[in-house]
């Protein structure tokens, strides 16, 4: 029996929580991998080496299950290293067929590092595979089960010849090295990663249930807000191609079904920021659309939604989640040092609530959280 929409959404949320554990400031990337997979689009991650891009992708793939393919492309990478070797037995009979077992054409989740360094032959073949989910080479024609491909690069290429290929990656996320203020968290997370053993918390069946629901979603309440947002972006000089505009609607539907809803609204419009191709463009889009995105909400993809919109509802959900996690980490009563550190973290959460919201009009999910913090922080 197929899982329900609610069951599928909860399973994916659990998988994302597991995948994010120990990764500092990469929760946004983890969320966007799931969002693009549900929308059956592709994600481009831009950032310097050593910023946990590949680790985040591997962890999501491990918690989702399914066939995974990963490869680091280079100038001298041969097509056979990505798509599989030519079948030499059939070649003797004049048939050019590819043995795709274990290679990209049979993958369900794929990660291609330094994706723009591939040869023309590789990129041209990838162009069709990513867009149509079909692999063509010689006499080989294979329908590919690929849900999502994540490409990574140090920078967006400037060569016009790569523009068509780069456009196949609808969603863009830019990552940077961890800031100085979070170096301790980075070190703690790195130590934790070495000890963590991930288990599969969801399945591709859960992912497919959400994908089907997103395709069938009723977009009537989304159409006008999306059209308005696109007009505002164009007025500000931020151009989105017609294809990207249409596909943003898919992303919004994917965001809605992750929250268990089949009717997306302006609350699900925040993925539009990630469809803007450049970092400067994304920053401008956040400013131009701040009034449109203030209604954004997501109880499932909190990090990605907050980074895109900085909306109060999303911020409240993230603070509530952080506080709930801290409440379960209370140290032993006789451990004074650990208790002191724990209370300092609780104070930080309380300060963020007070700085972000009017105490007389707290979001509903923060009312019990603030009361609990007041109780725990009361002098003994």
Domain-ending residue, one of 163, 183, 203: 183
Domain total of the chain: 3
102, two tokens: 């274990």
Residue 264's pLDDT band (boundaries 50, 70, 90)? very high
Residue 116 sits in the same domain as residue 246: no
- Cα 84 to its chain centre, rounded Å, is 28
Residue 137 sits in the same domain as residue 47: yes
Q: Which domain holds residue 332?
A: 313-377
The answer as to whether 203 is a domain residue is: no
Is 90 exceeded by the pLDDT of residue 343?
no
Residue 286 sits in the same domain as residue 348: no
Q: Which residue has the higher pLDDT, 219 or 176?
A: 219
Is 60 exceeded by the pLDDT of residue 205?
yes
Is 90 exceeded by the pLDDT of residue 193?
no
Phi first, then psi: what are they for 67, rounded to 5°? Answer: -80, 130
In this prediction, residues 91-118 reach a mean pLDDT of 86
182, two tokens: 């979070």
Residue 142's pLDDT band (boundaries 50, 70, 90)? confident
Average pLDDT along the chain: 87
Lowest mean pLDDT, pick from 195-199, 271-275, 299-303, 344-348: 195-199
The answer as to whether 189 is a domain residue is: no
The answer as to whether 232 is a domain residue is: yes
What letter does residue 332 receive in the DSSP assignment? P
Q: How does pLDDT run across 148-167, given as a tens digit for each residue?
A: 999 999 888 888 778 878 88
pLDDT at 182: 61
Residue 367 sits in the same domain as residue 326: yes
Residue 71 bridge partners (DSSP):
112
Residue 223 sits in the same domain as residue 320: no
Residue 310's pLDDT band (boundaries 50, 70, 90)? confident
The answer as to whether 207 is a domain residue is: no
Q: Is 300 exposed, middle or buried (0-12, 13-18, 19+ CB in 10 A)?
A: buried
- How far is the C-alpha of 371 from the C-alpha of 374, rounded, in Å? 5
In this prediction, residues 309-322 reach a mean pLDDT of 77
Is 70 exceeded by the pLDDT of residue 233?
yes
Residue 68 sits in the same domain as residue 115: yes
pLDDT at 189: 60
Residue 229 sits in the same domain as residue 266: yes
- How far is the C-alpha of 334 from the C-alpha of 337, rounded, in Å? 9
Residue 15 sits in the same domain as residue 147: yes
Residue 254's pLDDT band (boundaries 50, 70, 90)? very high
The answer as to whether 178 is a domain residue is: yes
Q: Is 224 exposed, middle or buried (0-12, 13-18, 19+ CB in 10 A)?
A: exposed
CATH number of the structural domain spanning residue 86:
3.40.50.300
Is 70 exceeded by the pLDDT of residue 91?
no
Residue 296 sits in the same domain as residue 339: no
Domain-ending residue, one of 183, 208, 237: 183
Residue 6's pLDDT band (boundaries 50, 70, 90)? very high
In this prediction, residues 180-196 reach a mean pLDDT of 61
Residue 270's pLDDT band (boundaries 50, 70, 90)? very high
The answer as to whether 190 is a domain residue is: no
Which of 193-207, 222-236, 322-336 is modeled with the greatest confidence? Answer: 222-236
pLDDT at 338: 82
pLDDT at 44: 96
Q: Could you tell me which residues come within 8 angstroms of residue 10 by beta carbon, excluding any fewer than 6 positions away?
A: none
- Cα 168 to its chain centre, rounded Å, is 16
Residue 174 sits in the same domain as residue 291: no
The answer as to whether 194 is a domain residue is: no
Residue 223 sits in the same domain as residue 150: no
Is 90 exceeded by the pLDDT of residue 32?
yes
Q: Is the pTM of this model over 0.75?
A: yes
The answer as to whether 237 is a domain residue is: yes
Residue 15 sits in the same domain as residue 156: yes
């Amino acid at each position: 029996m197929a899982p329900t929409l609610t069951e599928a959404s909860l399973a994916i949320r659990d998988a994302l929580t597991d995948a994010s554990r120990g990764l500092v400031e990469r929760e946004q990337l983890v969320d966007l991998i799931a969002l693009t997979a549900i929308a059956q689009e592709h994600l481009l991650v831009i950032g310097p080496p050593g910023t946990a891009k590949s680790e985040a992708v591997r962890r999501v793939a491990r918690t989702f299950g399914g066939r995974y393919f990963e490869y680091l492309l280079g100038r001298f990478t041969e097509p056979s290293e990505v798509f599989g070797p030519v079948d030499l037995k059939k070649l003797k009979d004049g048939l050019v067929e590819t043995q795709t077992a274990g290679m990209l054409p049979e993958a369900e989740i794929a990660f291609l590092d330094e994706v723009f360094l591939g040869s023309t032959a590789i990129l041209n073949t990838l162009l069709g595979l990513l867009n149509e989910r079909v692999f063509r080479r010689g006499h080989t024609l294979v329908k590919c089960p690929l849900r999502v491909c994540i490409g990574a690069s140090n920078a967006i290429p400037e060569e016009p010849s790569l523009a068509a290929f780069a456009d196949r990656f609808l969603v863009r996320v830019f990552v940077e090295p961890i800031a100085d203020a979070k170096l301790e968290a980075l070190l703690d997370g790195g130590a934790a990663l070495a000890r963590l053993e991930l288990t599969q918390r969801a399945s591709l069946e859960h992912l497919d249930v959400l994908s089907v629901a997103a395709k069938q979603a009723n977009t009537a309440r989304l159409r006008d807000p999306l059209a308005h947002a696109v007009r505002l972006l164009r007025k500000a000089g931020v151009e989105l191609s017609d294809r990207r505009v249409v596909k943003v609607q898919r992303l919004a539907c994917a965001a809605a079904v992750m929250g268990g809803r089949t009717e997306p609204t302006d609350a699900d419009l925040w993925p539009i920021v990630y469809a803007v191709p450049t970092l400067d463009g994304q920053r401008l889009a956040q400013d131009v659309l701040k009034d449109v995105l203030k209604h954004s909400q997501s109880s499932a993809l909190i990090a990605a939604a907050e980074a895109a919109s900085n909306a109060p509802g999303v911020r409240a959900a993230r603070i509530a989640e952080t506080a709930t996690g801290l409440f379960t980490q209370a140290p032993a009563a006789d451990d004074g040092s650990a208790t002191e550190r724990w209370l300092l973290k609780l104070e930080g959460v309380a300060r963020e609530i007070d700085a972000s919201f009017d105490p007389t009009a707290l979001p509903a999910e923060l009312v019990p959280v603030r009361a609990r913090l007041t109780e725990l922080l009361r002098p003994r």
